[in-house]
Amino acid sequence: MKKIFIVILLVLGFFILSSVISFILGTSATEFGDKIAVIPVNGVIITSDAVDPFSFGGSVSSGEVVENIKNANERKAIKAIILEIDSPGGTVVGTREIASAVQESEKPVVAWIRDVGASGGFWIATTADTVVADPLSMVGSIGVTSSYLEFSELLGRYGVSYERLVSGESKDMGTPFRPLGPSERERLLERLEVVHKYFIQAVAENRDLSEEEVQKFSNGAVMLGIEAQEAGFVDELGNFDTAFRLAKELSQSPDAEIASYGGRSGLLDFFGGLSSSAFYNLGRGMGVSLRPQVQMPLLLAQ
C-alpha cells in the first residue's frame, strides 16, 4: 500500500515537474530569435472549422486563420505576420472574421497575394499593413454574389412538384425548388447592395482611398496585380522574398526567420492546383466553372 502511494506521488511529481518546465518554457519565449509567421489563407473562405475533405480547390476555415493570427500575436518571438493569400473569396462573415483579426493584430501584417486574391481574399489583403502581389496575380473582384441554380422547371418536366408548406411568406425564399418572386428578388438584391457598400467602404478605409476611387473598380471584375498597383490596391509587386523583406523592415527584425503555420488540407486539395491552370483559359471563363456553386449564402466570390 505504501509502495503504491509512493509510486502515485512520484508520477504526480514528474507531472508537476513537466508542468513547471512548460511554464518556464512559455515565459522565456523558447523560440529564441525573431520570427516572421507565415499564415496561409488558401482556398474558399468558410466559417466552419471542419475541413471538407472533398472540397475541390480547397477551403480555409476562418476560425483556423483567426486562431493562427491570435497565436502569432501571443508568441513573443513572432515579430510580424505574412498572410499567404490564394483565395477567390468565400462567405461574408468568414471574410470579416479574418479581416477583423488582421486589423486587431498588434504586429505588422504583410498580405502576399499569389495566384488569386479576389473578393473576400482581396478584402482580407486590404486590411494588412502592406500588400504584395505578383504582376499577374488576379486581384480585386469587388462584388457580391448569391447566385444559385433553380430547378422548378426541370422538376416540373418530370412530374415532380414542390409542396410548399411555410408559416411565413418568405420562409423558403431562395429555395431551388421554386422561382424567386419579384419582391423577393428585389429584397435580396437590396441586401447584396448593402454588403457591396460595406465592401467598398472597407477597401476605401483600408487602402486610404476615397469611396469614389474604389467604386470605379467595384463592378466585380478582377484585375491583374500590376493594374491593382496602379489603382492603389497593391503596394509592391513581387513574390515571397518581397513579402519577407517587407515584413522584416516593418518589424525591424533583419535577422528574423520563418515560422510556418501549415494549413490543414482537404483530401482533394491535390487536385485544386488543376483549377489554377484554367484561370487564363478564356474558353472556360477564368476557372469559375470549376468552383462549386454554393446555394444562397452571400458570397464574396468571383
Would you please indicate which residues are annotated as catalytic (active-site) residues? 119, 171
Interface residue with other proteins, options 47, 52, 63, 71 (CB under 8 A):
71
Interface residue with other proteins, options 52, 67, 205, 249 (CB under 8 A):
67
- For residues 99 and 141, what is the distance between their CA atoms, to the nearest angstrom? 16
Establish if 236 lies at the interface with other proteins (CB under 8 A): no
- For residues 214 and 78, what is the distance between their CA atoms, to the nearest angstrom? 33
Grid coordinates of 251: 518589424
Establish if 5 lies at the interface with other proteins (CB under 8 A): no
For other proteins, which is the closer residue by CB, 21 or 194?
21
Establish if 21 lies at the interface with other proteins (CB under 8 A): yes
Which range in 139-147, 194-202, 245-253, 259-267 contacts other proteins by CB under 8 A? 259-267
Establish if 258 lies at the interface with other proteins (CB under 8 A): yes
Establish if 136 lies at the interface with other proteins (CB under 8 A): no
In whole angstroms, the minimum distance from the beta carbon of 263 to other proteins comes to: 7
- For residues 181 and 200, what is the distance between their CA atoms, to the nearest angstrom? 28
- For residues 215 and 210, what is the distance between their CA atoms, to the nearest angstrom? 9
Establish if 48 lies at the interface with other proteins (CB under 8 A): no
Sign, CA torsion 271/276/280/284: positive
Q: How many CB atoms lie under 10 A from the CB of residue 170?
A: 12
Question: Strand runs (DSSP E) across the chain, as ranges?
Answer: 35-42, 44-46, 59-61, 78-87, 89-91, 109-118, 130-133, 138-140, 222-224, 236-237, 257-260, 299-301
The contact set with other proteins (CB under 8 A) reads 3, 7, 10-11, 14-15, 17-19, 21-23, 25-26, 28, 30-33, 35, 67-68, 71, 75, 257-264
